[in-house]
Amino acid sequence: MDCNKVGKLIHSLRSEKSMTQKQLADMMNISDRTISKWERGIGCPDVSLLNGLSKILGVNIEKLLTGDLNSKEIDGGNMKKAKFYICDNCGNAMFSINEADISCCGRTLPALEATEENETHTMTIEEIESDYFIKINHEMTKTHYISFVALKGYDRVHFVKLYPEQNAELRIPQMSGDKLYAYCNEHGLWEKRIK
């Protein structure tokens, strides 16, 4: 751990939040001289203080320890790079316009890789009024079910959460889009091209 880099990052994040060293120190129940030492690179935060410091400054502990936020390249939110994430522990499902550092239940989540529709996982799509009626031929038990369905358009995603013991059927408004995704809690993410 490079105390100079950590100190510069703490100073930068504290300044972004318009906080004084004294305000940060009071929130952490330590002295403002300790904050000053960190920011000057004379020492680094004790492990017992990292969780509180990361919450106050709004940065994860790993980034705090490296002293570098490593900004991602801005690409304008290209939907072709859209990613889905799911927590195996609690079932939380998330979506990001680009690759992201996402964690849940204390674990870093990898982006899901979609496979093509196959004979085990199929979707039928019917146009009804201005919606797509989607039916998935899949069991919906408490242990094996479709968790979500998402239609990715050119400028938006329509995300629908499904629950065990309901029918795997839904209506999604039609939009300019190209892919429909479904996530099976046992077999992962798969996709189907609409047009």
Residue 131, CA distances (Å) to 79, 106, 147, 155 in order: 21, 38, 21, 17
Per-residue pLDDT at 141 exceeds 90: yes
- Position 84 scores a pLDDT of 92
d(CA 123, CA 170): 11
Q: Mean per-residue pLDDT for 176-193? A: 88
- Position 73 scores a pLDDT of 59
The per-residue pLDDT of the chain, averaged, comes to: 88
- Position 62 scores a pLDDT of 83
Q: Mean per-residue pLDDT for 119-134? A: 90
Q: Mean per-residue pLDDT for 163-181? A: 88
d(CA 171, CA 169): 7
Q: Dihedral through CA 16, CA 21, CA 24, CA 26, nearest 10?
A: -160
Q: Mean per-residue pLDDT for 143-152? A: 92
Interior angle at CA 113, CA 107 and CA 117, nearest 5: 140
Packing angle of the helix pair 3-16, 47-57 (nearest 10 deg): 30
Q: Mean per-residue pLDDT for 110-137? A: 90
pLDDT over 70, % of the chain: 95
pLDDT tens-place string over residues 48-95: 999 899 899 888 888 888 888 776 555 555 677 889 999 988 889 998
Write out the two tokens for 160: 């629908």
CB atoms closer than 10 angstroms to residue 66: 14
What are the phi and psi torsion angles at 8 (to 5°)? -65, -40
d(CA 120, CA 104): 29
Output 94-97 pairs: Cβ under 8 A, ≥24 positions apart: 95/150, 95/157, 95/159
- Position 63 scores a pLDDT of 83
For residues 25 and 156, which has the higher predicted lDDT (pLDDT)?
Answer: 25
- Position 128 scores a pLDDT of 92
